[in-house]
């Protein structure tokens, strides 16, 4: 490796500055220390969560689903959800006498649910896509 490949990093093992680039592993730059022959990668940049999950998490939050339940449903940390709620300055609507309930359904189960007329009366519903399934959020208005 020539001198032009040197970078200004230090080896995490021996603190040497004699570092050269040595390929790319898992989309990260790999380095090699010339003094101790130790290989290492650059600092972790962090992972980006797809906007789809951010939007779904915020929708569920507004519908009254708890942080931990959102974590279980979407597989996204409840701490991340809390940070998104704070970042986008969301607030839940004022509590009412009804509490939303939800079901996770496959396509055919959702069709069967809609086929029964008694499921459609006296309640407000919203259906949202959740990966390969659907989430039906329902709250009873008339009791």
**How many whole angstroms from its chain centre is CA 7?**
34
Give the pLDDT band (50/70/90) at residue 125.
confident
Tens digit of pLDDT for each residue in 64-121?
Answer: 788 998 888 888 899 999 999 999 998 887 766 666 678 889 999 999 998 998 888 7
Mean pLDDT in residue range 9-38: 85
Task: Write down the pLDDT at residue 96.
Answer: 62
Q: Angle formed by the axes of helices 78-87 and 67-74, to 10°?
A: 120
Which residues have a Cβ under 8 Å from the Cβ of 76 and sit 6 or more positions away?
Answer: 49, 53, 57, 70
Q: What pLDDT is recorded for position 3?
A: 43
Confidence at residue 95, expressed as pLDDT on a 0 to 100 scale: 66
State how far the Cα of 109 lies from the Cα of 120, in Å rounded to an integer: 15
pTM over 0.95: no
């Amino acid at each position: 490796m020539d001198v032009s490949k040197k970078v200004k990093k230090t080896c995490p093992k021996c603190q040497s500055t004699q570092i050269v680039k040595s390929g790319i592993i898992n989309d990260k730059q790999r380095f090699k220390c010339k003094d101790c022959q130790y290989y290492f990668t650059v600092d972790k940049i962090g992972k980006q969560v797809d906007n789809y999950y951010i939007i779904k998490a915020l929708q569920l939050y507004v519908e009254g689903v708890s942080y931990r339940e959102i974590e279980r449903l979407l597989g996204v940390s409840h701490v991340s959800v809390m940070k998104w709620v704070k970042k986008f300055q969301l607030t839940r609507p004022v509590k009412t006498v009804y509490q939303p309930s939800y079901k996770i359904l496959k396509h055919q189960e959702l069709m069967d649910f809609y086929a029964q007329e008694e499921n459609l009366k006296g309640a407000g519903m919203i259906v949202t896509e959740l990966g390969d399934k659907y989430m039906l959020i329902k709250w009873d208005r008339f009791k």
